[in-house]
Amino acid sequence: MLVDNRYSRQILFDPIGEKGQECIQNSHVLIIGVGALGSSSSEMLVRAGVGTITLMDRDYVEESNLQRQQLFTEADVENKTPKVIAAKNRLQKINSQTKIDAQLTDAGVEELEAIVPDVDVVIDATDNFDTRLIINDVCQKYHTPWIYGACVASYGVTFTVLPDETPCLQCIMDHIPSDGATCDTVGIISPTVQKVVAHQVTEVLKLLTGNTEALSGKLVAFDLWKNQQMELEVASLKDDSCPSCVKKIYPNLDYQSQLKTAVLCGRNTVQIRAGKHRNFHFDDFKMHLKQTNLINYLENPYLISFEINEFRVVVFHDGRTLIHGTKNIQEAKKIYYRFVG
């Protein structure tokens, strides 16, 4: 049953109307990552009346999150509240009619294969390409649309992937600018987040209401600070030999392609290796680290070493990384994705 007053302005928008609003309220959206993109998109979709939202994230709230991750408070920082829990608490106060499923977990192959077949659309709000490539292959396997999104500094990019129709992320990887920059190395301004989210959520609403003819169909990229925007027609980029969307091999679901972690015996250290298909650009990585105010930075022909809080990070030329100061794999992966992956 529609709550006309609550959603009246959305229902008045002709492409949605009452029929579209009913579709929205009967839908299930999976949001992977509840940081800047995930917290903003989840709030928009809860306010829009999405029936069920599953949130998936492994992290807890930190002080540096508050500048751009709008669902969280200083109390969440003080309590080290997991992001999915803090987000659920806030979202349920905004709309008690939406069912929020908070999953405090890594978005790995097993976790995604258990839920993606049951959702209508997936929003990528992650911080690394390892997870995005897994999302890509799981969504291809189960024919689930998903919206890629990323942002750093004043730059953002987004693209809607429709299995069996558009190129997939694997097809367009070479056309996505990637120089190794992360929010921890070059920072980010919050308007960048909101512009990416506006595009992602709009595409979700189009999909949920059956307005597929209105989908962008383009890779959208922008730099707010430089007043630049680019839209790339991607239909011609579909790779006839793509293992993910054409050959249906799904290479990123293979164990050898996934990030490998190991706790080193007796050393209070976690070792991390990227999957076999990932290329590590050591020179780009080194360039961005030099722009960051890191403690005890050291480099030689074989490796780079630096400290972040109580951890020492050592990155070898091939991308193999040691996180000293912890045996917690999730904690080590968090540091890895912030600075290396």
Q: How far apart (Å, rounded) are the C-alpha atoms in residues 78 and 74?
A: 6
SS3 of residue 269 by DSSP: strand
CA angle centred on 252, ends 27 and 325, rounded to 5°: 100
- In contact, 28 and 207? CB cutoff 8 Å: no
Q: How far apart (Å, rounded) are the C-alpha atoms in residues 341 and 334?
A: 10
Considering 23, 139, 151, 183, which one is annotated as catalytic?
Answer: 183
Active site residue 242: no
CA angle centred on 37, ends 2 and 113, rounded to 5°: 80
Residue type, 175: H
Give the pair of three-digit tokens for residue 89.
Answer: 């608490």
Q: How far is CA 115 from CA 24, 31, 126, 146, 310, in A?
A: 19, 11, 17, 13, 36
Q: How far is CA 336 from CA 36, 199, 309, 311, 322, in A?
A: 18, 28, 14, 11, 9
Q: How far apart (Å, rounded) are the C-alpha atoms in residues 130 and 115?
A: 18
Which residues carry out catalysis?
Answer: 183
